[in-house]
Amino acid sequence: MSHRPIYLDCHATTPMDKRVLEAMLPYFTEYFGNSSSISHVYGWEAEAGVKQARQILADAIHATPEEIIFTSGATEANNLAIKGVAEAYFSKGRHLITVQTEHRAVLDPCHYLENLGFEVTLLPVQQDGLIDLTQLEKAIRPETILVSVMAANNEIGVLQPLAEIGKICHQQQVLFHTDAAQAIGKIPLDVQAMNIDLMSLTAHKVYGPKGIGALYVRRRHPRVRLAPQIQGGGQERGLRSGTLYTPQIVGFAKAVALGLETQASESEHLLQLRKSLWSSLSELPNIHLNGHPTQRLSGNLNISVEDVDGSALLLGLQPVVAVSSGSACSSTNLGPSHVLLALGHPESLASASIRFGIGRFNTAAEITQVAKQAIATIASLRRSLTLRRQ
Ligand SMILES: *Cc1c(COP(=O)(O)O)cnc(C)c1O
């Protein structure tokens, strides 16, 4: 283990907290029942675990337990929210609004709907990655049925102004969905105060297990209608059929509970590490910070480096630190990140970028080591470039 590089890719996924694993274990072997089995104690035990988890997750976002629909993750939750609303409200209107810097799990369902005859407005972002609220207001039309804006960006960590967006949507009577995959357990989320109607969540970005997430669906003021995308046994009020994955659900709730308990102190810890990394790296010339300097996740640092080749840079860092350029999800397509391009970067600069995702278990010593390696790699790549040019 000690020979593996330092893990700084926490926006792709996080290591699972051992306390989460402990909470999950009895639900694999002992409380293994099907939570839908109502005629015996095995079912009741599983149902009790699910019920408690649902309550914890609802409390975490100021919702009620009936408003939490378990899914396989944020990708499925986004698909259910976007396609489910489109299918339920198409007679009211066929226009949706989202943002250029959204995750593919939001953009792709929107593109799919475009092929079915819906119209999608993709809002641009400002240079700091934030949307312009006046532009949002102007984009809303009588036939708009959904606005989808993410809480925290998975590449540049930028936090969109959820409460302000929610207020606009509420006034215009348009449903507001937010992809909060990177935000849950890390920043305060309140579906009441922020006027959020649908919210996608996932466990594995907050030290929980992979393969579990949820969609919050508002039941009152207004009651959101949704067409199910997976049909069958009628679990989750018919909105998402399939036997509930009890151990993952229990682990998800434990992870979020731990995140909330330590939110303030952990955020401060991550902020110190990020500041230390940036203060070292920014001593080099021609290095740019991507995204708003303060309105961002504490553990996120995204930089673009001039005068280096992007893939050579990642290769040079690889033995010491596990990071990525753009997002893990789009790393299969080799082009520059759509998020960095949306900030207005030229392709060359968007390609030579590193996303550092600092997490709960990283230490100051690790950050020092990473900073050293990054500085050495960048300096050496720039030297060889200058030599080649001579
Ligand atoms: C990771 C991520 C997703 C996908 O979540 P899964 O649970 O892996 O499906 C969606 N949106 C954002 C912003 C993410 O960071």
Tokens of 22: 């402990």
Other CB atoms within 10 Å distance of the CB of residue 25: 13
Residue 327's pLDDT band (cuts 50, 70, 90) = low
Atom of ligand 1 nearest to the CA of 11: 15
Query: 95 near 119, Cβ under 8 Å?
Result: yes
Distance, in Å, from the CA atom of 352 to the CA atom of 357, rounded to the nearest integer, reads 17
Task: Tell me the CA–centroid distance for residue 386 and ligand 1, in Å.
Answer: 40
Question: If we measure between CA atoms, which residue out of 169, 162, 144 comes closest to residue 86?
Answer: 144
Question: Nearest residue CA, atom 7 of ligand 1?
Answer: 73
The structural domains of the chain, ordered by start, are 6-14+263-389 (3.90.1150.10), 18-260 (3.40.640.10)
Please say whether the dihedral angle defined by the alpha carbons of residues 102, 344, 194 and 298, taken in this order, is positive or negative. positive
Q: Which residues are part of the catalytic machinery? A: 329
Atom of ligand 1 nearest to the CA of 329: 1
Residue 181 beta carbon below 6 angstroms from any ligand 1 atom: yes
Residue 154 beta carbon below 6 angstroms from any ligand 1 atom: yes
Task: Tell me the CA–centroid distance for residue 131 and ligand 1, in Å.
Answer: 20
Estimate the share of the chain in helix, then strand, then coil, as percent rounded to the nearest 5: 45, 15, 45
The β-bridge relationship of strands 300-305 and 353-357 is antiparallel
pLDDT at 336: 85
Residue 12 beta carbon below 6 angstroms from any ligand 1 atom: no
Question: Nearest residue CA, atom 3 of ligand 1?
Answer: 74
Question: Nearest residue CA, atom 9 of ligand 1?
Answer: 75
Instruction: Tell me the sheet residues that pair with 68.
Output: 216
Question: If we measure between CA atoms, which residue out of 244, 214, 239 comes closest to residue 35?
Answer: 244
Q: What is the mean pLDDT of residues 298-305?
A: 97
What tens digit of pLDDT does each residue of 30-79 get?
999 999 999 999 999 999 999 999 999 999 999 999 999 999 999 999 99
Distance, in Å, from the CA atom of 249 to the CA atom of 246, rounded to the nearest integer, reads 5
pLDDT at 2: 57
Q: Is the pLDDT of residue 329 over 80?
A: no
What tens digit of pLDDT does each residue of 259-295 get?
999 999 999 999 999 999 999 999 999 999 999 999 9
Query: 169 near 146, Cβ under 8 Å?
Result: no
Query: 309 near 20, Cβ under 8 Å?
Result: no
Task: Tell me the CA–centroid distance for residue 36 and ligand 1, in Å.
Answer: 28
Task: Judge residue 100's burial from the number of C-beta atoms within 10 Å of its C-beta, 0-12 exposed, 13-18 middle, 19 or more buried.
Answer: middle
Residue 202 beta carbon below 6 angstroms from any ligand 1 atom: yes
What tens digit of pLDDT does each residue of 177-236 get?
999 999 999 999 999 999 999 999 999 999 999 999 999 999 999 999 999 999 999 999
